[in-house]
């Protein structure tokens, strides 16, 4: 009930601000052109649910410890696991990705135009240069027509490109639990060439026992303009994370005894991960006359992963991953109101997976050694018509995939989409769309064979989803208000579970059908020195099948979410921001026998400019609430809980040269 009261309160404030033009100076909210749905279009006219946000170069209001800081106000998106760096941030959009055992799956990640998600659908964020983030666009719904496998939603990240002169910026930050971060960014701009180089080093003891981590990230981008119609860009990323320890999930009795404790078995088996990740890529953009535009990319990535899990048989993992991809798009402007785009891409992934016995932290005999392959080739076509009253988007994509170990399996998938936007209503826009997606099991999910034998789990199949949307947008001089309704039906939902014989190891199964429906609301307002935004999500994600799960809620996702930010910038250069978040209750298992209570969080940010210096600080969990940073779905022995930090602090400084 508190959520609805807050929502109606914000609507009341919206009406007041809309009527008070003479009382304050308004700031015009700029219309933005987005390319997350492939063909560049105004964010006002896109016939799909989309969120977009830009960030300042100095990012004074951001701690920068997790991508969650940059996604708080996106409706329909839920984040967990910001503190366990051995498992990585867990993201879900309308329920897609909620079942991930580690990292991100079911959601496509695109960084500076090149896929961060592997062909089989896995995504990690430990190599992301957070301090370089300039803008983020989120497509909130199935989008396989645009991006293929594991596109239940799309997160497109663009790093710093817009700067007018050479600069050097240094950043130092410290905080609770022995957390330190040191960052350096340098930008150089010539007549036809510009470059940005970034380095960051972060380490922390962690809130819980056995939770410390250390990470080093180097990122570089270079652009060269050969002519007014052609540009080549190169990007490079190297990440070295020598250790990130895993405190594990504990039961509620252990939580009540000591929130900071690690699971004893995790300490006994010395659970942690070590990662070295390298990625490099090229992009080419060229205009071929007045009506044709060609863009192409190619990339290569290598990941070296070592990890220890809290059990003996197969408890040490040594994974070497090599994957590459390339793609090209040709856009044809048939007329001023008609555009078509043709795309082709391929991606190839090879995982060499070795497992050994974990003898209380020491490496024992080999239990598994296999090469796992995933190959994808795709063709797609998109078509866009514009009229005075609206815009029509259609798309069709064909994906061919080959995956396996010794025996190969071929999969052929076709995904359509269609959307229409009604624009002939002044400041009001209506849109409706239909789209589909598919999600193959990842190689790590397939290799988690509950029989204990080598090879893949032959009982695990791909899932499919259909998405219907109806949305409304309102734009004025200083306000943007959006609301969307969605209905998603899935088949062969992929769910995780644990076995007594392999505690703390995730296995996967298909769970028939689900039906997901909900409403997402967002409001942004700028008025002089004031700025605020708020989002609310109601999501009923239910199993829709015969049997004991019929009518049960999909675990790991709350039914209600609310987030609000209020910011004020003083003329003196002092800025203050207050954040409020309410996360509704959720279930920890498929059977819905364990319910995790709702919680309310407040955060406070302060920053002050002194010429070349910026000082910033913040308090997280201002009211010192007890809640959980992560819920491990279907964990054996009811070890669902990873407690979150209580009130904690950070402080830092930027120096711009």
pLDDT above 70 (res 439): yes
Q: Work out the mean pLDDT of the chain and round it to a whole number.
A: 90
pLDDT of amino acid 504:
63
Mean per-residue pLDDT for 622-633?
A: 95
**Is residue 251 within 8 Å of 263, Cβ to Cβ?**
no
pLDDT of amino acid 232:
97
Phi, psi of 411, deg, nearest 5: -130, 135
Which residues 6+ apart lie within 8 Å of 267 measured at CB?
Answer: 209, 210
pLDDT of amino acid 429:
96
pLDDT of amino acid 636:
85
Q: Is residue 397 domain-resident? A: yes
Q: Work out the pLDDT band at 456, boundaries 50, 70, 90.
A: confident
Q: Is residue 314 domain-resident? A: yes
Q: Percentage of residues in the chain with pLDDT exceeding 70?
A: 94
pLDDT of amino acid 275:
96
Mean per-residue pLDDT for 100-105?
A: 79
pLDDT of amino acid 7:
41
Instruction: Please indicate whether residue 442 or residue 46 has the higher confidence score (pLDDT).
Output: 46
Instruction: Please indicate whether residue 312 or residue 512 has the higher confidence score (pLDDT).
Output: 312
pLDDT of amino acid 42:
87
pLDDT above 60 (res 25): no
As given in the structure block, the two tokens for residue 583 are: 């996360």
Q: For position 603, which CATH number holds? A: 2.40.170.20
Q: Is residue 27 domain-resident? A: no
Q: Is residue 28 domain-resident? A: no
Q: Is residue 89 domain-resident? A: yes
pLDDT above 80 (res 10): no
Instruction: Please indicate whether residue 7 or residue 277 has the higher confidence score (pLDDT).
Output: 277
Q: Is residue 440 domain-resident? A: yes
Phi, psi of 77, deg, nearest 5: -110, 135
Q: Work out the pLDDT band at 15, boundaries 50, 70, 90.
A: very low
pLDDT of amino acid 14:
43
- The pTM of the full predicted model, rounded to 2 decimals, is 0.92
pLDDT of amino acid 212:
96
pLDDT of amino acid 31:
65
Mean per-residue pLDDT for 242-268?
A: 95
Residue with tokens 């052109």, as numbered in its chain: 33
Span 482-495, pLDDT tens digits: 999 999 999 988 87
Instruction: Please indicate whether residue 12 or residue 198 has the higher confidence score (pLDDT).
Output: 198
**Is residue 378 within 8 Å of 464, Cβ to Cβ?**
no
Write out the DSSP string of 230-260. Answer: EEEEEEEEEEEEEEEE----B-HHHHHH-TT
For 405-454, list the strands marked E by DSSP.
Answer: 408-425, 428-439
Q: Which residues pair with 393 in a beta bridge?
A: 384, 419
pLDDT above 60 (res 158): yes
Lowest-pLDDT range of 115-124, 263-272, 329-338, 381-390: 115-124
pLDDT of amino acid 30:
58
pLDDT of amino acid 407:
62
pLDDT above 50 (res 22): no
pLDDT above 90 (res 575): yes
Q: Which of 246-250, 310-314, 442-446 has the highest mean pLDDT?
A: 246-250
pLDDT of amino acid 26:
35
pLDDT above 90 (res 192): yes
Mean per-residue pLDDT for 402-424?
A: 88
**Is residue 585 within 8 Å of 611, Cβ to Cβ?**
no
pLDDT above 60 (res 136): yes
Q: Work out the pLDDT band at 509, boundaries 50, 70, 90.
A: confident
The residue range of the domain holding 629 is 2-19+40-656
Write out the DSSP string of 330-389. Answer: EEEEEETTEEEEEEEEEEEEEEEEEEEEEETTEEEEEEEEEEEEEEEEEEEEEEEEEETT
Q: Is residue 451 domain-resident? A: yes
| HEC string for 474-522 | EECCCEEEEEEEEEEEEECCEEEEEECCEEEEEEEEECCEEEEEEEEEE
Q: Is residue 34 domain-resident? A: no
Lowest-pLDDT range of 153-157, 186-190, 246-250, 512-516: 512-516
C-alpha–C-alpha distance, residues 539 and 407, integer Å: 40
Exposed, middle or buried: residue 228 (CB in 10 Å: 0-12, 13-18, 19+)? exposed
- Please give the tally of structural domains in the chain: 1
């Amino acid at each position: 009930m508190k959520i609805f009261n807050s929502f109606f309160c914000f609507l009341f404030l919206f009406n007041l601000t809309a009527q008070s033009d003479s009382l304050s100076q308004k700031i015009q909210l700029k219309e933005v052109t987005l390319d997350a749905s492939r063909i560049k279009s105004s964010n006002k006219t896109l016939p799909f649910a989309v969120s977009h946000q830009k960030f300042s170069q100095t990012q004074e209001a951001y701690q920068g410890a997790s991508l969650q800081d940059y996604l708080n106000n996106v409706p329909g998106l839920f984040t967990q696991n910001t503190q366990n760096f051995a498992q990585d941030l867990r993201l879900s959009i309308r329920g897609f990705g909620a079942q991930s055992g580690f990292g991100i799956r079911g959601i496509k990640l695109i960084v500076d135009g090149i896929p961060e998600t592997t062909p089989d659908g896995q995504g990690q964020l430990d190599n992301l240069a957070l301090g370089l983030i300039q803008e983020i666009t989120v497509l909130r719904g199935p989008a396989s027509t645009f991006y293929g496998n594991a596109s239940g939603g799309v997160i497109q990240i663009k790093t710093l490109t817009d700067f007018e002169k050479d600069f050097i910026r240094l950043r130092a930050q410290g905080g609770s639990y022995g957390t330190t971060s040191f960052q350096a960014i340098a930008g150089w701009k010539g007549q036809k060439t510009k470059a940005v180089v970034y380095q960051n080093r972060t380490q922390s003891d962690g809130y819980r026992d056995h939770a410390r981590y250390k990470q080093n990230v180097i990122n570089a981008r270079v652009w060269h303009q050969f002519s007014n119609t052609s540009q080549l860009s190169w990007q490079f990323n190297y990440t070295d994370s020598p250790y990130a320890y895993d405190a594990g999930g504990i039961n509620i009795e252990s939580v009540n005894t000591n929130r900071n404790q690690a699971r004893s078995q995790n300490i006994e088996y010395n659970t942690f991960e070590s990662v070295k990740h390298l990625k490099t890529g090229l992009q080419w953009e060229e205009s071929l006359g007045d009506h044709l535009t060609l863009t192409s990319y190619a990339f290569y990535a290598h990941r070296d992963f070592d990890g220890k899990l809290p059990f003996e048989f197969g408890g040490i993992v040594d994974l070497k991953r090599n994957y590459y991809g390339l793609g090209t798009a040709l856009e044809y402007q048939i007329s001023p109101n008609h555009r078509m785009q043709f795309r082709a891409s391929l991606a190839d992934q090879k995982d060499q997976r070795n497992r050994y016995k974990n003898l209380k932290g020491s490496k024992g005999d080999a239990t598994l050694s296999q090469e796992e392959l995933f190959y994808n080739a795709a063709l797609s076509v998109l078509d866009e018509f514009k009229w005075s009253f609206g815009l029509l988007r259609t798309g069709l994509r064909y994906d061919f995939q080959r995956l396996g170990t010794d025996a190969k399996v071929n999969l052929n998938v076709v995904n359509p989409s269609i959307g229409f936007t009604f624009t002939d209503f002044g400041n009001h826009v209506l849109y409706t769309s239909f789209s589909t997606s598919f999600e193959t099991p990842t190689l790590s999910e397939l290799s988690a064979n509950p029989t204990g034998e080598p090879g893949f789990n032959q009982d695990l199949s791909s899932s499919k989803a259909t998405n219907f949307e109806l949305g409304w947008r309102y734009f004025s001089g200083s306000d943007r208000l959006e609301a969307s309704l969605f209905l998603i039906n899935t088949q062969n939902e992929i769910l995780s579970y644990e076995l007594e014989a392999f505690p703390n190891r995730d296995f996967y199964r298909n769970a028939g059908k689900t039906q997901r429906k909900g409403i997402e609301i967002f409001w942004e307002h700028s008025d002089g020195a004031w700025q605020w935004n708020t989002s609310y999500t109601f999501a009923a994600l239910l199993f829709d099948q015969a049997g004991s799960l019929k009518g049960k809620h999909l675990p790991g996702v709350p039914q209600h979410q609310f987030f609000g930010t209020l910011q004020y910038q003083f003329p003196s250069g002092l800025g203050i921001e207050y954040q409020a978040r309410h996360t509704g209750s959720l279930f920890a298992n498929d059977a819905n026998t364990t319910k995790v209570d709702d919680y309310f969080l407040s955060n406070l940010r302060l920053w002050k400019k002194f010429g070349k210096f910026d000082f910033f600080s913040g308090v997280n969990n201002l009211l010192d609430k007890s809640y959980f940073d992560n819920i491990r779905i279907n964990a054996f022995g009811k070890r669902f809980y990873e407690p979150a930090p209580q009130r904690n602090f950070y402080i830092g400084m930027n120096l711009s040269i």
